Amino acid sequence: SQQGEEDPQALSIQEGENATMNCSYKTSINNLQWYRQNSGRGLVHLILIRSNEREKHSGRLRVTLDTSKKSSSLLITASRAADTASYFCATAPYGQNFVFGPGTRLSVLP
């Protein structure tokens, strides 16, 4: 498996529901970031969580980090159709560059 790998690969929910995506990684990291990519566009940074942090919030987004399990989760609450996108976690092993996972494709149905 890759350094960072999202799960599930695809997720389909109804508008208003919560969406949860997970990211697992293999080696110790400096920080972990989540990005969003709308179809045909570049990636947009959502949130960065450092290795000494356990949870961060940004609007409707909540990110958790469990370094003992080498995993992170991204929760989007009260989802909207505009949240339809691919979501990537990027992990930065110490002394190395970011590695992006394959992404989770989220579809929010109206």
Q: Which residues of this chain interact with other proteins, rule CB under 8 A? A: 30-31, 33, 35, 41-45, 48, 88, 90, 92, 97-103
**CA-CA-CA-CA torsion for 56, 57, 62, 67, nearest 10 degrees?**
0
Q: How far is the CB of 14 from other proteins (least distance, A)?
A: 27
User: For other proteins, which is the closer residue by CB, 18 or 96?
Assistant: 96
Question: What contacts 1, CB < 8 A, 6 or more positions away?
Answer: 24, 26
User: For other proteins, which is the closer residue by CB, 90 or 108?
Assistant: 90
